[in-house]
């Protein structure tokens, strides 16, 4: 684990390099084996088949085309990907939730059955460099804009951009009518608030918030036992991930990106985050399908 001073020095190096070249540090040392259009942002191949036997190396702007955004707290890098660009399976997965919400088949715990405007819901997932109060570097959001689901991922290109990512993510989270996470009550939301406080930024309460892990445990603990996100993805969504980056490798993969500018493994992290968000939306349809869906859940479990 890199100490705070090392992270500060790497962040300063990355900032100065971008000022001079417009690219990440050491980008010229990375073998370019792709064209800008050959790797669309967060491209998901087939049914959760991500990664490749021959990884593509290159700088961030080639492997993950996006936009640099400026906010009062600084700069960050934003990736926007229509879910339809992730493949037919992804569009169908999120479409199940959209249909359930629009038809009034999506029942919130303790709420009356009724329709829900999908445009007011925000799905959220984070990627961090540890489990304690270590830097957060990616906030993934799934929302519906003009009737179409879109993935928006706020990325810190180095440790110095964390504050901007946190502040912008918090603004979007509090403006939603309903925030949906998986284990967000115990991990994501406390983590975001702690890191906001670390940067001396306002740490709001994110309400209303729906943690689907709690719903899964109440409905599936007896049949599945393990209620991890990917366990439910296999049993309820019928998908098996291939070549997905293990969660334990994500912190070091990000540290390596900050150090050498090669976005190869960072691209894997972005894909992993995209898969989590798409699965989260589909699980919302399965887990909150009302009384009609209860027997189906039991059968699939």
Q: What is the CATH number of the domain that holds 270?
A: 3.30.420.10
Residue 196 tokens read as: 């906001």
pLDDT tens by residue, 5-59? 665 655 665 555 555 444 443 332 332 222 223 333 333 333 334 333 457 899 9
pLDDT tens by residue, 128-162? 999 888 999 999 999 999 999 999 999 999 999 99
- As for how many domains the chain has, the answer is 1
pTM here is 0.81
Domain range for 32: 4-300
**Ranges of the chain with pLDDT below 50:** 20-53, 112, 291-301
């Amino acid at each position: 684990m890199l100490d705070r001073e090392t992270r500060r020095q790497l962040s300063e190096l990355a900032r100065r390099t971008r000022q001079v070249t417009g690219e990440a540090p050491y980008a010229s040392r990375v073998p370019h084996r792709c064209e800008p259009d050959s790797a669309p942002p967060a491209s998901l191949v087939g049914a959760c088949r991500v990664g490749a036997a021959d990884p593509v190396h290159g700088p961030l702007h080639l492997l993950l085309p996006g936009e640099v955004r400026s906010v009062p707290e600084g700069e960050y890098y934003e990736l926007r990907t229509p879910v339809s660009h992730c493949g037919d399976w992804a569009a169908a997965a999120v479409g199940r939730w959209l249909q359930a919400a629009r038809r009034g088949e999506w029942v919130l715990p303790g709420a009356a059955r009724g329709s829900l405007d999908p445009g007011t819901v925000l799905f959220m997932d984070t990627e961090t460099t540890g489990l304690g109060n270590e830097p957060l570097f990616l906030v993934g959001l799934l929302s519906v804009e003009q009737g179409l689901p879109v993935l928006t991922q706020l990325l810190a290109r180095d440790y110095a951009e964390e504050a901007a990512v946190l502040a912008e993510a918090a603004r979007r989270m509090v403006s939603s009518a309903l925030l949906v996470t998986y284990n967000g009550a115990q991990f994501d939301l406390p983590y975001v608030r702690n890191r906001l406080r670390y940067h001396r930024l306002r740490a709001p309460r994110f309400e209303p918030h729906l943690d689907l892990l709690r719903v899964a445990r109440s409905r599936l603990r007896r049949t599945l036992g393990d209620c991890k996100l990917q366990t439910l993805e296999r049993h309820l969504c019928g998908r098996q991930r291939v070549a997905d980056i293990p969660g334990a490798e994500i912190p070091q993969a990000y540290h390596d990106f900050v150090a050498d500018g090669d976005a190869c493994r960072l691209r894997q992290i972005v894909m992993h985050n995209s898969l989590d968000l798409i699965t989260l939306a589909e699980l919302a349809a399965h887990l909150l399908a009302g009384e009609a869906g209860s027997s189906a859940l039991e059968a699939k479990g």
